[in-house]
Amino acid sequence: MNATTQAQLAALRARWAGLAPRERHLLLAAGAALAALLLWLALLGPAISVLRSAPNRIQAQAVELATMRQLAEEAKALKGASPVGGPEAAAALKAATGRLGEHATLTVTGGRATLALQGVAPDALQAWLAEARAGARARPLEAQLQQTPTGWQGQLVLGLGGP
């Protein structure tokens, strides 16, 4: 230590010795309270917060893992499935489109299918897409969709057959 620091430390010791015992106890208690507050803010508070949020995070991760496993199984099943020819794929898409009613129109030309939507409910569109993927082995090429108060509108272009 240099001389200045030693002089300041000696002055603090002299001042501490000059305090009444009651004042020393109060300063020690205030220092201990300040140290406890800093310990809480720096170490214990964040750790307890992480522990409290851990069950919710674990549950969310478990749900996400289950979804990923389900999608992996579906992808494995689709990969192992036999290819569907153009006429069979078109028939499967037409059958699925028929369940959408007057809200959808399907046009099949060559290896492409275009689905025009007008006010299709989200769950109906989701079911149609799942059926198009599983039944017709169709893959999306283009999508121009807008969500409106009455449902989805726009068009989907799908490729039929082949990877």
Please give the Cα distance from 103 to 95 (Å, whole number).
14
The answer to whether residues 134 and 114 touch, using CB atoms and an 8 Å cutoff, is no
For residue range 16-57, what is the model confidence (pLDDT) as tens digits? 999 999 999 999 999 999 999 999 888 888 888 999 999 999
For residue range 74-106, what is the model confidence (pLDDT) as tens digits? 888 877 777 677 778 788 888 888 888 888 888
Please give the Cα distance from 92 to 105 (Å, whole number).
14
Would you state the torsion angle of the CA atoms of residues 118, 78, 75, 127, taken in this order, to the nearest 10 degrees? 20
How far CA 136 is from CA of 118, 141, 149, in Å, comes to 22, 14, 30
Please give the Cα distance from 115 to 140 (Å, whole number).
11
pTM of this prediction exceeds 0.75: no
pLDDT of residue 142 exceeding 60: yes
Q: 156 in helix, strand or coil?
A: strand
Say which residues have a Cβ less than 8 Å from residue 121's Cβ, sequence separation at least 6. Answer: 151, 152
How far CA 129 is from CA of 13, 38, 89, 136, in Å, comes to 80, 56, 13, 10
Q: What is the DSSP letter of 85?
A: -
For residue range 106-138, what is the model confidence (pLDDT) as tens digits? 888 888 889 999 988 899 888 888 888 888 888
Which helix H or strand E contains 58, and what residues bound it? helix 45-80
The ranges assigned to domains in the chain are: 3-79, 86-159
Please give the Cα distance from 125 to 20 (Å, whole number).
81
pLDDT value of position 70? 94
pLDDT value of position 162? 56
